[in-house]
Amino acid sequence: MKSSLLIIILILIVITYSIFERKNAYNLFIEGAKEGTKFTVDLFPYMLTFVLATTMLSSCGITNNINFQISVKNIVFPFDIILQALIRPISSSSSLTIMLEIYNKYGVDSPAGIIASFIQNSTDTTLYVITFYFGCVKINKTKYAIKAGFLIDIINFLIAIFVAFLYFKLQ
C-alpha cells in the first residue's frame, strides 16, 4: 500500500515539475525509452557471451568430481568454500547456490557457513561488472581493472578465513 502511494506521489512530482519547467514530459519519456532500448541492444552481445560462458562452466560437471577438505585446528574448510570463492567473481547466482549447499551440509553457524556468507556478501561479480559496464561504455583496456578486482576478491577471501578463525577461537 505504501509503495503504491509512493509511486503515485513520484509521478505527480514529475508531472508538476514538467509543468513548471514548461517541458513535455511525455516526449522526454519517449526519448529516454529510445535511449534505453539502444543501450539494451548495445549491451546484448556482452550479456549473451557472459551467460553462455557461465552456463558452460556450471554445466560441464567438473566441480562435481572434486571433493576434498582442508582442516586447520579442527576447523573444516570444504572444497565448496574454494569453489564458491572461484565462482563468485563470475556468477552471483551460482555462488549463492554453492553457499546454500554449504549451509545444508555444514550448517549456517559452522566455520564453512560463516566463510561462505562472508564471501557472498563482501565480494562482487568482478567479471560481470567489467563485462557489462566497461563493455557498455566501450572501454577495451580492462587489464588493470581485472587485476584490481581479482586482488580485492582474494583479499576478501583471506579476510573471510581470518574472521572465521577469530570467531571460533574467541568462543
| One-letter amino acid of 67 | N
Rounded to the nearest integer, the mean pLDDT of the chain is 80
Cα–Cα distances in Å, from 165 out to 67, 75, 154? 22, 8, 17
Q: What was the pLDDT predicted at 1? A: 63
Tens digit of each residue's pLDDT (9 = 90 or more) over 17-27: 888 888 888 88
- Domain layout of the chain by residue ranges: 1-61, 69-171
| CA 171 – CA 167 distance, rounded (Å) | 7
Calpha distance 100→95 (Å, rounded): 9
- With bands split at pLDDT 50, 70 and 90, how would you rate the model's confidence at 47? confident
Give bridge partners of residue 71 from the DSSP assignment. 76
Number of other CB atoms surrounding residue 99 within 10 Å: 24
93-150 per-position pLDDT tens digit: 778 888 888 899 888 888 888 889 888 888 878 877 887 778 777 788 888 888 888 8
| pTM for this model (two decimals) | 0.59
pLDDT band at 66 (very low <50, low <70, confident <90, very high): low
> What's the pLDDT at 69?
55
Per DSSP, the chain holds a count of helices (H) and strands (E) of: 8, 2
Classified as helix, coil or strand, 155 is helix
